[in-house]
Amino acid sequence: MTPENPDFHAQHSPMGAHSSFTLGMHHANSGAVSEKGSVAEGATLVGYRTASGQYHYFPFFEKLESEKDRYVSDENAEILPDVIFSKENIEREYLWATDKFSAPGIQMEVISPFDSIPDPAQASDDEMRFATCPATLVRLTFDNQSSEDWQGFFALSPDTRWTALDSDNNRQVIGGVSRDQLAVATTDQEAKSFMDFTHDTALDPDHSRPHFLLGQTCGLEITVPAGEQKELVLCIAYYLENKATFNRSSKYYYTKLFTDIKHVINYAMTEQGRYFALAAKRDEELSLRTDLNDEQKFLIAHATRSYYGSTEFLIESDKPLWVVNEGEYLMMNTFDLTIDMLFFELKFNPWTVKNVLENFVSHYRYYDEVFSPENPEKLYPGGVSFAHDMGVANQFSPEPYSSYESSGLDRKCFSFMTYEQLCNWVLTAGVYLGQNKDTDFFTRHRGIFQDCLTSLLNRDNPDPAKRNGLMSFESSMTKGGGEITTYDSLDHSLGQSRNNIYLAGKAWASYLIIHDLFKGLDTKLSEEAFSAAQLTAKALCAGYDEDLGFIPAVLENDNKSAIIPAIEALVYPWEFGSKEYCSEDGPFAQYIKVLKRHFNNIHNTDACLYPDGAWKLSSTADNSWMSKISICQYVAREILKIDLKDASAQADLAHARWQREGAKYHACSDQFTSGQAIGSLYYPRIVSNILWLKETC
Amino acid sequence: MTPENPDFHAQHSPMGAHSSFTLGMHHANSGAVSEKGSVAEGATLVGYRTASGQYHYFPFFEKLESEKDRYVSDENAEILPDVIFSKENIEREYLWATDKFSAPGIQMEVISPFDSIPDPAQASDDEMRFATCPATLVRLTFDNQSSEDWQGFFALSPDTRWTALDSDNNRQVIGGVSRDQLAVATTDQEAKSFMDFTHDTALDPDHSRPHFLLGQTCGLEITVPAGEQKELVLCIAYYLENKATFNRSSKYYYTKLFTDIKHVINYAMTEQGRYFALAAKRDEELSLRTDLNDEQKFLIAHATRSYYGSTEFLIESDKPLWVVNEGEYLMMNTFDLTIDMLFFELKFNPWTVKNVLENFVSHYRYYDEVFSPENPEKLYPGGVSFAHDMGVANQFSPEPYSSYESSGLDRKCFSFMTYEQLCNWVLTAGVYLGQNKDTDFFTRHRGIFQDCLTSLLNRDNPDPAKRNGLMSFESSMTKGGGEITTYDSLDHSLGQSRNNIYLAGKAWASYLIIHDLFKGLDTKLSEEAFSAAQLTAKALCAGYDEDLGFIPAVLENDNKSAIIPAIEALVYPWEFGSKEYCSEDGPFAQYIKVLKRHFNNIHNTDACLYPDGAWKLSSTADNSWMSKISICQYVAREILKIDLKDASAQADLAHARWQREGAKYHACSDQFTSGQAIGSLYYPRIVSNILWLKETC
């Protein structure tokens, strides 16, 4: 897995610390920072200085802040030009948990081991400590084949000030810490720490103080004698000890397990062997998948890194609290992301899915009324739904409101997503139950599922006789406006909720999951749900336009958009375990056949492919979400059994280039216009591509 | 006190909160922020919107982030052009505690009441609460003489997200808070709060949600009916609840007195009458000083604001801890600032002086050896001195070292200031004792004074027979380097310590204060100190060069620089209360006469005046410190009784322009090159000009 172009940023994050060490793009800022939805402002200086005074670096800085000319010790000495490794000299191996950079004389591995975060209700403190340690290990290898000694170095230079962790009397931990919350450190006793204005005022000092505290640069150095190899393992550690969230008070879970940042450093360094082994295991797992091409492996590894950067594992009144931040937007547990990240979380730590679902039930659930857009004044019974998110920038929003949704908007960005989030709760909870025997969860939330069915039906039409299987009524939360979907910045083809076939698919899946869950428990309800699914499927089949060759995105106003996500929701009954609903021979055979025709007819450059083979979710909008493409690829290939042939690999390359070229600064993004990242930057949601690992075709 | 040009930034800060609401410069960023040594990144939107949709603003933003065109409610409505008040339309009255801006239809007063911070050892919680409340009050007055209603508004727009403090059910406090630490709020029940992307997406919304939590703008609005006047008092509140300092753990003192930021807001709003009265008292005090010209009043008011912005009143293990940050540099209790701010702190809260002195004694005192620059290897007994500072950016440096001083530097920036800080402790403690009967302090630190005398003498020469009254030996802390003075970025005329006549003046004053303190207690020591003072005075008199007409700055190497601060140290015996030492008829008559001749001969544009009459501290360097000029002006006028005639007022105007033009962005700075601020920005030290209030001549 050697990307064709090594010049792109990647996040490297411990699990649940909402912190990232981001680097990889050349001549761009880089560094480590917590709770920021974008790349740290600063520089990462990694390289070596020859005894004769020449510096060699990876290009992990925007501009070289060097004061060498001013500080070089011997004023008569010739100043040798810097060597900044060029793209041609850098090799990058991008594995699932290891990001390895090689250049002449130096190799750097940034290691991001990940695994299940054990359920805190069942795991020991030791297990939790290993899972939550808020540090990222970096392994540097210097290979000095020259005839003079080198100083190998690694330094960060953000806009902060540092305190030395080591002193002449105590070299247990060597490195620097800023405000007790960010550290660059090692326990390798051969290393020396430095703090100064720049790395070269430290390595070519005009003074004799290794820790000059006015400087913003903090690093480690190690002597690499001529002709020798040296390895230096260091870590970047984080520790936010205070209240992490506002309006509801919580702290990072790791504060329960680590007393302070020194504890984190010591632990990470001591356990480095286990962490390296875990990373190697993950690396191998993905590498060995011969059924996936390298671009798919790249996309999975890239998405995984970006996901962990947004994760925030907290503790609130002694109870675990799982938050995934919405990348650059910093919204907390955005529900239309939760559902797409579901497959990843179910694979690694299903308890986080349950945690988020129950948080929505207890804090961000509401009951509304509904109205027909023709007569917004007349309100009918609506039902339950859930907020779009739980707040922003670690500030919980007033319950039960999201930070995002605003009333008074008619099918525009920031309107309510009542119908979509209603489906999302049913589908997320359903798939969770489908894959986990958690009867307690079902028992406690049985009433919610019932409420959800009522709510779904009322949004079709409060009058049962007038239902057609599609959403036609808007939530009173919009105050006369109109709901939107997660595709909030798209045109109506995917942006508006009512009569939308993407959402109709989610409703169909929701009905079926309710049907299955209540089978044998409440036959009437179960049957009612099944009938609703049939009605929806029927409406969608009827919507198929033989002239167009697809189901138009919105079944009203003569809409003619073709959208790929018509097929998206097949993933839910499939992952729930009721694959028969997705079969051409099953109870929804006609619907499945129609969807297959729909997809086959739009999977071309006239409708839903870009010229380079990348997927365009809607034929009428140049705005495509990578996370959603990933799901739809899985649905097309694995569920609908469509053989995409070479087009599939072509799309993978195009999508990988979206990330490496179009989002090279943003370390994995979701929303692209013609291959350029335009929003949803630094995003967690793309881990929906974990589904590819389940493909059997 | 109406400055000729209203276009400059000023800090507005509660006492001891290290927080500032900075604005005033036109078309520049502005706003409120804590613990930052520069202007907040953001915008302050203050103005009114007419019912027909036209916005009127003060220009307190760099660029108007307006989305009015997108969000204006009625798409057919004509969009009226914004009115951004121009310099000609803005009047600014700049009083000691009130900064008042007036423009057509609107007036804004930013009120920064200040008074003695009572000694926590003696004051009640109520008194402490009034003194430390971390809020700044803003009073807006709208005068709507038009025939349509206005919405008056005030909003901040930093890069953060907000939570509403009010809800439909609870309007006790109206406004918004960010992460529980920064709030814009009022208790005026006529006001409404808003949060949105920009002020105009809030005031011309396309949606109906007043608190849209994804936006970075938070503000208040009030209806001003046609033909009416309305007043709105609001506050900007700060609250940092966590550990404020690192390596030594402390919190803000106010956390002991206020439970949270709502408490702060309620208190500030409830006590607004007392705060306004206090501000008015301060305003009047300065305004009524007919002996000061308006530029002097401006400079005093400007310096005072900048000082409080840097103050940080903490509590460490139940004991008060006073820290003044070094403006943009954020160094903590930089000792060469402490001594210059002494006069201000002695006037308002002498206990803070004692607090800092004792902090230096217990944490940042060291004992060194000394060497002659000719033979750095040979070390002699040195003595006590003190670190340059106590740390940086709220991180205490390892004791007893400063964050600033680095060894191995020969008379260059960042070298040690051992001799100067030694003098500074004697002089600061001495003047404190001269003005406060604190026998306990003297008793406890009598040994330190004795150590200081020994240390001073050894730095002249460890061999008593070879002493000449001047510093000739360097501290071993420099490791073979050479010490510098507080004028660290100046040429050797003021930058190097040894044989420097500026420092010799400080030594002379130190000897005399020790002499006086020990009179009758330890005659031998007292006499030894007096003899040393005589020796120093004699050397300085002998240094007077009849050809040059002044004492050259450094009494070695044929130096020919003329420096004003030769006279600076007269302020210490004078303020100590021993004015006779500064008299032409006293025991140092000759020295005083020489200094007077020195000053008179260099107080001209050939040496130490800029063409516009501003003072140039050294004839050989275009680098002048406003704080030091202020002291020397006091010495020249009040102590040396030199009649500067019109030159004095001319200098005041020039210096005021340094701040208003050369440092207009930096809200009071110390270091200027040809009238342009080049460093020591956003600085507290200029409050040395409080001395002007003591002038009687």
pLDDT of residue A72: 55
Q: Select from B406, B407, B409, B411 the residue whose CB has the most chain A CBs within 10 Å, as the one to mutate to test that interface.
A: B406
- Arithmetic mean of pLDDT, B134-142: 98
Question: CA of B246: which chain A residue's CA is closest?
Answer: A179
- Residue pointed to by tokens 């089978």: A519
Q: Distance between CA B629 and CA A331 in Å, rounded?
A: 52
Q: What is the mean pLDDT of chain B?
A: 96
The CB-side HSE value for A393 (13 A sphere, CA atoms) comes to 16
Report how far residue A660's alpha carbon sits from residue A654's, in angstroms, rounded to the nearest whole number: 10
* Residues A2, A92 contacting (CB under 8 angstroms): yes
Count CB neighbours of B435 within 10 A.
17
Residue range A500-541, pLDDT digits in tens: 999 999 999 999 999 999 999 999 999 999 999 999 999 999
Burial B297-318 (b: 16+ CB within 10 A, else e): bbbbbbbbbbbbbbbbbbbeee
The residue type found at A258 is F
CB nearest to A406's CB, from B212, B331, B408: B212
B75 Ramachandran zone, left/alpha/beta (phi>0; psi -120 to 50): alpha
The pLDDT tens digits for A648-686 are 999 999 999 999 999 999 999 999 999 999 999 999 999
State the pLDDT at residue B71.
58
> In whole angstroms, what is the distance from residue B580 CA to residue B573 CA?
8
How do residues B194-229 score in pLDDT, each as one tens digit?
A: 999 999 999 988 888 999 999 999 999 999 999 999
Run of H or E residues at B451? helix B439-460
Closest approach of B294 to chain A, Cα-based (Å)? 38
Q: Which two tokens stand for residue A413?
A: 């960005």
The one-letter amino acid at B564:
I
Model confidence at A75: pLDDT above 60: no
Q: Where are the alpha helices (DSSP H) in B519-644?
A: 523-543, 571-576, 589-602, 626-634
Tell me the mean pLDDT in the region B617-624: 94
**Alpha carbon distance B56, B45 (integer Å):** 10
- Rounded to the nearest 10 degrees, the angle between the axes of helix A335-348 and helix A626-634 is 50
Contact state of B412 with A206 under an 8 Å Cβ cutoff? yes
Q: Residue B401 and residue B391: Cα distance in Å, rounded?
A: 8
Q: Where are the domains of chain A?
A: 19-285, 289-694
CA distance, residue B292 to nearest chain A CA (Å): 39
> CB–CB of A154/A169 below 8 Å?
no
B392 in contact with A, Cβ within 8 Å? yes
- Mean pLDDT on A142-166: 97
For residue range B314-341, list pLDDT tens digits in order: 999 999 999 999 999 999 999 999 999 9
Residue with tokens 């962790």: A165
Pairing status of strand B192-196 against strand B182-186: unpaired
The DSSP output letter for B682 is: S
Which of B213, B397, B407 lies nearest to residue A397, judging by beta carbons? Answer: B213
DSSP string, B193-262: EEEESSHHHHHS-SSS-SB-TT-SEEEEEEEE-TT-EEEEEEEEEE---S--BBTTTBEEGGGGT-SSHH
Q: B403, A213: Cβ pair inside 8 Å?
A: yes
Maximum CA pair distance of chain B?
94
The CATH number of the structural domain formed by A289-694 is: 1.50.10.10
Q: Searching chain A, which residue's CA lies closest to the CA of residue B413?
A: A207
Q: What is the pLDDT of residue A169?
A: 87
For B270-300, write each residue's pLDDT tens digit.
999 999 999 999 999 999 999 999 999 999 9
Contact: A208, B406; criterion CB under 8 Å: yes
The pair of three-digit structure tokens given for residue A147, joined into one six-digit string: 């005839």
pLDDT digits 0-9 by tens, B535-569: 999 999 999 999 999 999 999 999 999 999 999 99
Angle at B327 between CA B321 and CA B328, to 5 degrees: 130
Whether the bond between A104 and the residue before it is cis, its omega within 30 degrees of 0, is no
pLDDT band at B463 (very low <50, low <70, confident <90, very high): very high
B403, B476, B680, best to mutate vs chain A, most A CBs in 10 Å: B403
Using the beta-carbon criterion (under 8 Å), do B242 and A246 form an inter-chain contact?
no
Q: What are the φ/ψ torsions at residue B256 (nearest 5 degrees)?
A: -75, -20
Q: What's the pLDDT band for B169 if we cut at 50, 70, 90?
A: confident
pLDDT at B429: 98
Which are the contacts of B218, defined by CB distance < 8 A and separation ≥ 6? B155, B156, B157, B162, B175, B176, B178, B184, B193, B194, B195
The tens digit of pLDDT for each residue in B502-515 reads 999 999 999 999 99
Mean pLDDT of A571-588: 98
- Report the relative pairing of strands B135-143 and B229-238 from DSSP bridges: antiparallel
**CA nearest A566: which of A511, A640, A655?**
A640
CA A87 to chain centroid: 27
CA distance A256 to chain B (A): 17
Residues A362-386: what's their mean pLDDT?
Answer: 98
**A413 touching chain B per CB within 8 A:** no
Check CB contact under 8 Å for A213 and B404: yes
Burial string for A289-308 (b: 16+ CB within 10 Å, else e) reads: beebebbbbbbbbbbbbbbb
Measured in whole angstroms, how far is the alpha carbon of residue B571 from the centre of its chain? 19
Whether A70 shows a pLDDT value over 70: the answer reads: no
Could you tell me the pLDDT band of residue A492, with boundaries at 50, 70 and 90?
confident
The predicted-structure confidence for B625-663, as pLDDT tens digits, reads as follows 999 999 999 999 999 999 999 999 999 999 999 999 999
- CB–CB contact A404 B214 (8 Å): yes
Q: What is the pLDDT of residue A73?
A: 54
The set of long-range contacts for A596-599, using a CB threshold of 8 Å and a minimum separation of 24, is A596/A640, A596/A642, A597/A544, A597/A549, A597/A550, A598/A544, A598/A549, A598/A550, A598/A551, A598/A562, A598/A566, A598/A567, A599/A564, A599/A566, A599/A567, A599/A636, A599/A640, A599/A642
CA distances from B526 to B385, B510, B516 (A): 20, 12, 7
Altogether, the residues listed in chain A come to a count of: 697
Give B182 to chain A, closest Cα distance, Å: 13
* Chain B residues inside the 8 Å CB shell of A182: none
Structure confidence by residue, pLDDT tens digits, A168-185: 889 999 999 999 999 999
Work out the burial of residue B377: count CB atoms within 10 Å of its CB; fewer than 13 is exposed, 13-18 middle, 19 or more buried: exposed
B69 band by pLDDT with thresholds 50, 70 and 90: low
Count CB atoms within 10 A of the CB of residue B665. Answer: 17
Q: What is the pLDDT of residues A240-286, one digit of tens each?
A: 999 999 999 999 999 999 999 999 999 999 999 999 999 999 999 99
- Bridge partners of A332? A325
Sequence length of chain B is: 697
CB half-sphere exposure, B617, CA atoms < 13 A: 31
Using H for helix, E for strand and C for coil, what is the string for B290-315?
CCCCHHHHHHHHHHHHHHHHCEEEEE
- The string of DSSP codes covering A148-165 is S-EEEEEEE--SS--EES
Please tell me the distance from the alpha carbon of residue B466 to that of residue A474, in angstroms, as a whole number. Answer: 96
Q: Is the pLDDT of residue B77 over 80?
A: no
Cα distances (angstroms) measured from residue A203 to each of A108, A184, A270, B459, B690: 20, 17, 28, 33, 45
Overall average pLDDT of the B395-419 stretch? 96
What does the pLDDT read at residue A92?
Answer: 98
B330 touching A (Cβ < 8 Å)? yes
Give Cα separations from B545 to B472, B502, B550, B551, B555 (angstroms). 20, 16, 6, 6, 10
Chain B closest-CA separation from residue A249 CA (Å) = 11
Angle CA A40–A42–A43, to nearest 5: 120
For residue B260, pLDDT beyond 60: yes
Which CATH number is associated with domain B289-293+333-694?
1.50.10.10
CA angle, B472 as apex, B468 and B478 as ends, to 5°? 160
Q: Do A403 and B209 touch (CB under 8 A)?
A: no
Reported as a pLDDT band with limits 50, 70 and 90, residue B79 is confident
Chain A segment 98-137 residues within 8 A of B by beta carbon are none
Q: Distance from B588 to chain A by nearest Cα, in Å? A: 41
Closest to A305 (Cα-Cα) out of A634, A682, A672: A682
pLDDT (average), residues A305-320:
98
- What pLDDT does residue B70 have? 61
pLDDT single digits (tens) A593-605: 999 999 999 999 9
Helix intervals (H) in B49-149: 68-71, 125-132
In angstroms, what separates the C-alpha of B378 from chain A's closest C-alpha?
19
